[in-house]
Amino acid sequence: MPAPSASPRNANRTSIFSAQESRLSLPEAHASIAVPEGASKFRRFLAFVGPGYMVSVGYMDPGNWATDLAGGAQFGFTLLSVIMLSNLMAILLQSLAARLGIATGYDLAQACRAYFPRSINIVLWLACEIAIIACDLAEVIGTAIALQLLFGIPLLLGACLSALDAILLLLLMRLGFRWLEAFVMALLGLIAVCFAFQIAAASPPLAAIMKGFLPSPIILTNPQMLYIAIGIVGATVMPHNLYLHSALVQTRTYERTSAGRREAIRWSTLDSTIALMLALFVNAGILIVAAAAFHTTGHQDVAEIQQAYTLISPLLGLGIASTLFAVALLAAGTNSTVTGTLAGQIIMEGFLRLRMAPWARRLLTRGLAILPVILVTLLWGEKGTGDLLVFSQIVLSMQLPFAVIPLVWFVSDRQKMGEFALSRPVSLLSWAVVGLILILNFKLLYDTVCG
């Protein structure tokens, strides 16, 4: 199959894939960011910095806050090991997504369309759409709660106002993809600074934190702890981010040669690894603050963002802590709107070859997410939205196999990837991660069905 070309000079180059004709992934941004030729390694690396941070947004969105807060408040520092494990899994899987996009010129959705029967592709597409709606659900709730905490806007009105983020996305896309990346990175920095202040105020015991990063068997034997742990995995390893990353790495004008692709894979992997370490700091920071402020002070029942906002300042003895908490939440929700829309576009175009204007796509998915928020709020009040937020992350976890199995299958196949196929040890490690995800999901499904 002819590969999407990065520029006219590459128009005659072909992809390793050869199944059927395809279109460019994210055509409006494809190969739009120059990689300086003859520059130092550091400057060339800087040209590849961006996609990893765009992807890392999904690893610290409002859905993560719900599971991390619940885990820290109920079980102290114990689930830090789950956050660490999830982050290591994410680093591996995102590097595989980048490898696929760079080596083949296809994003994951296009690769699925090229090699899988139509019936399987429909199932995969539906699973992706469910994952995006679940993620969007968390963004709606998180943004609405942040607006309520900061400005006193009612939850229902805040949920409706969140649909206006389509205007923000449209403006950023018109300014250029580099501006979009800069905006996302600036908000990520703001989130990290907010939690650095809160961790400093919490003064958590270092020994307890280090012990929390060591896996404990009680996680598997305690049903409540396992439920939160699987939610953390679902909130950390985001299925649609794998589709997103495989497309974003193609926005760079690297040489479509063996050496050029190899360099692009190296720099893109380093970019996403550094960015996801920032996500690890934020996720661990949320749980550490919750454990230090709530679990150790007898407030183990804190499971909702509103409760955390009310209690965090008096418990930490820092008056601005609650404001920092809400500001970081609003930044996380705003950031997630950008990547969620781009992922939706990539998935729709890759599986269906159906193109929709970004603002229209955003309003559609946001509308589907707003409806259950309104319904739950009317029936069960604000407490219901907190439960819905955690449940959305469980749904995300259940969608993971539909993304990771095709990804690992593609990058492990030498016939499809050529010299860029995974080595046997890395392939075995990747399949082990897939197996762990499947085991956790089957355990969750069994416990849910059997009560």
The domain segmentation of the chain, as residue ranges, is 36-290+309-449
List Cα–Cα distances, 29 to 132, 167, 294, 436, in angstroms: 21, 18, 45, 35
What percent of the chain is modeled with pLDDT above 70?
85
Phi-psi region of 148 (alpha: psi -120 to 50; beta: other; left: phi over 0): alpha
Q: Which fold has domain 36-290+309-449?
A: Amino acid/polyamine transporter I (1.20.1740)
8-31: average pLDDT: 55
Q: Which of 18-22, 38-42, 357-361, 414-418 has the lowest mean pLDDT?
A: 18-22
- pLDDT tens for residues 164-206? 766 777 777 778 889 889 999 999 999 999 989 999 988 899 9
List C-alpha distances in Å: 91 to 234, 238, 280, 300: 14, 11, 10, 31
* pTM of the entire predicted model: 0.86
Query: Looking at residues 253-277, what average pLDDT do you find?
Result: 94
CA dist., res. 451 & res. 446, Å (int): 8
Q: How far is CA 282 from CA 80, 82, 106, 256, in A?
A: 12, 14, 31, 36
Picking from 119-133, 149-163, 164-178, 247-261, which range would have the lowest pLDDT averaged per residue?
Answer: 164-178
Q: Would you place residue 390 in the very low, low, confident or very high pLDDT band (cuts 50, 70, 90)?
A: low
CA neighbours within 13 Å on the CB side: how many for 126? Answer: 6
Comparing 205 with 139, the larger pLDDT belongs to: 205
The whole-angstrom separation of Cα 180 and Cα 184 is 6
- Give 369 or 15, the one with higher predicted confidence: 369
- pLDDT band at residue 7 using 50, 70 and 90 as cut-offs: very low
Longest dimension (CA), the chain: 66
The two tokens of residue 77 are: 């520092």
| Per-residue pLDDT tens over the stretch 318-364 | 889 899 989 998 888 888 777 777 888 888 888 888 776 666 766 67
Banded model confidence at residue 207, pLDDT cuts 50, 70, 90: very high
